[in-house]
Structure formats: C-alpha cells, structure tokens
Amino acid sequence: MEHPVLTAIRRESFTPLGWFSPRPDDRTPEGTRFVIMVGNAGPEMFRRFARERDPRHDLMDDWCREVIGRLARDLDARAVYPFDKPPLPFLTWARRAKAGHVSPLGMNVHATYGLWHAFRAALLFPVEFDLPAASAGPHPCESCAGQPCLSACPVGAFSGSGYDVPRCIGHIASSEGTDCMEGGCLARRACPVGRPFTYGRAQMQFHMRAFRNAHHPSPTGISA
C-alpha cells in the first residue's frame, strides 16, 4: 500500500518523482527533515490545468503555486518552487532524490517517464517519513543505440556536451520551426524512453510557446 502522502500528491494530478532525507550540505531550509520532489509526468497534470486555467492569467507557475501550496498546507509541509528567487538547488535535490539522470540533451531523463516530466515543486517536511529508499534505476541513455535525440534537431542545437539556445530559438521563431512549435521539440520526441507518457499536442504547444516567448518575446507582449 502506497504512503498516504504520495497518494495525496497523485490525487492532485502531480507525481512524486523522488525523495530524500537532507544532509547539511543539501542547502535545504532550516528545519527540513524530509524532501519530496513533486512534478508532472505525462499529460495528467496539464489536463487539469487546461480545465482550470484562467484565460486572463495564463501562467502555469502561478497555478502550480496555488494548487501545490494548498496541498502543502493540508500536509503540514512547506512548498518551494524551481522558479523561486533566489533559486534553490533543484537539480542537486533531484540527484539526491534519485529522480533521474542527465540526458545527452542536458534535460533530466527518468527511467520510467523519459523526458516527459518536469519538476514543479519540492515539499519540505519537518518530520522524516518511513519510505523505502528512492531509486533512479539504470541510466536509459547508456544503453540507447545511436542516441537519436542528438541527431533529430533540424538545426543541430544539441551536441551532447552543450545546448545552443540561440540557434534553437532562432529556428522555432521562424517559419521553418513550425513542426517543433506545433508538435513539440523534435529532439525530445526522438527519445524512445517513456513513450506512453508523451505529452498531448496542446501541452506540447503550450510549453513550446512559453519557451519561445521567454527568449523571443512577442511584439504584443503576450506570452504563454
């Protein structure tokens, strides 16, 4: 039977991606005894967001802060977010939580969800839970023949050792980038891991617009 805290997270359409008991060098806020990394995996969270989103205030970060903040209060936890300022070491916490591995694209790759997940928050608890140690599983990229993600980008923005963001943005902001904008990043779509959790088309488009507008603002000032 699953731990009730993990069940409560899933009930809100989020996924507990990993957890750990912090050490002094983990830079968690004072009083933290246990950390659960919360994210989306697959399309379920976006389906809820699409139902509840306010067209006048269309920011996913704000929606996540509201929903996860309410969940944190119900669980007697504190919620922190990857978009908080100053930034918290979410990727370091992800490694400690066994929440995945670094892929050749530089994105976090999960043994089950592949590239189709994202960290939305961390729940910080003042007590430690009796949960089995989290496991990242085998690194899926190490046994991936040919690593098709590295050759799928039409402008070669990924080299395996770096990501050329300006080249990517220049492409998706042009008419030649329509396929990426409408169907999602071709490099990401080329990954064979976690295919059952692939985002739906509307979610792909939402995230691509948000990414493009963050780096190449619309002349109208409207962003996703």
Burial of 170 (0-12, 13-18, 19+ CB in 10 A): middle
Enumerate residue ranges in the chain where pLDDT < 50.
219-224
Nearest to 12 by CA among 54, 56, 75, 58: 75
Residue 50, SS3? helix
Closest CA to 71 of 122, 19, 30, 20: 122
Q: List the one residue out of 34, 36, 42, 37 whose CA is nearest residue 13.
A: 42
* Residues 6 or more apart in contact with residue 135 via CB below 8 angstroms: 98
- Compute the distance between CA of residue 22 and CA of residue 17 in angstroms, rounded to an integer: 16
pLDDT of residue 58: 66
Q: What is the pLDDT of residue 214?
A: 86
Cα–chain center distance at 89: 14
Q: Give the per-residue pLDDT at 55.
A: 72
Question: How many angstroms separate the CA atoms of 200 and 203, rounded?
Answer: 5
pLDDT digits (tens, 9 = 90+) for 3-61: 999 999 999 999 999 999 999 999 999 999 999 999 999 999 999 999 998 876 668 99
Q: Please say whether the beta carbons of 80 and 122 come within 8 A.
A: yes
Q: Per the omega criterion (within 30 degrees of 0), is the bond before 87 cis?
A: no
Distance CA 120, CA 181 (A): 22
CA distance 168 to 163: 8
Distance CA 58, CA 132 (A): 38
State residue 18's pLDDT score. 96
Instruction: Pinpoint the alpha helices (H) of the chain.
Output: 4-11, 44-52, 60-74, 90-96, 149-152, 165-172, 178-183, 186-190, 201-215
Ramachandran angles phi, psi of 202, nearest 5°: -65, -40
Q: Could you tell me the residue ranges of all domains in the chain? A: 4-136, 146-215
pLDDT of residue 116: 97
Q: What residues does 163 pair with on adjacent strands?
A: 158
- C-alpha span between 18 and 89 (Å, rounded): 15
